[in-house]
Amino acid sequence: MTPRACWDWACERTGLDRVWDALMARHIPEARGPVAWFYALGSATLFVFTLQAVTGALLAMNYVPSPDHAYDSVRFIGSQVLFGRFIRGLHHWGASAMVILVALHMLRVYFMAAYKYPREATWIVGVTLFTLVMGFSFTGYLLPWDQKAYWATMVGTSIAGQTPVIGPYMSKVLLGGAEMGAATMTRFYALHVLVLPMVTAAALGAHLFLVVWHGISEPPRRKEQGS
Rounded Cα distance between 184 and 45, Å, is 29
Tell me the pTM.
Answer: 0.88
pLDDT number for residue 53: 96
Question: Could you report the per-residue pLDDT of 77-126, keeping only the tens digit for each?
Answer: 999 999 999 999 999 999 999 999 999 999 999 998 899 999 999 999 99
Amino acid of residue 55: T
Q: What is the CA radius of gyration of the chain?
A: 22
For residues 119 and 83, the answer to whether their CB atoms sit within 8 Å is no
CA distances from 188 to 50, 141, 193, 206 (A): 21, 9, 9, 25
In the chain, which stretches have pLDDT less than 70?
24-34, 221-227
Rounded Cα distance between 210 and 220, Å, is 20
As separate numbers, helices (DSSP H) first and strands (DSSP E) second, the chain gives 11, 0
pLDDT number for residue 31: 64
* Domains in the chain, CATH or no CATH each: 36-214 (1.20.810.10)
Give me the DSSP letters along 144-197.
Answer: T-SHHHHHHHHHHHHHHHTSTTTHHHHHHHHHTSSS-SHHHHHHHHHIIIIIHH
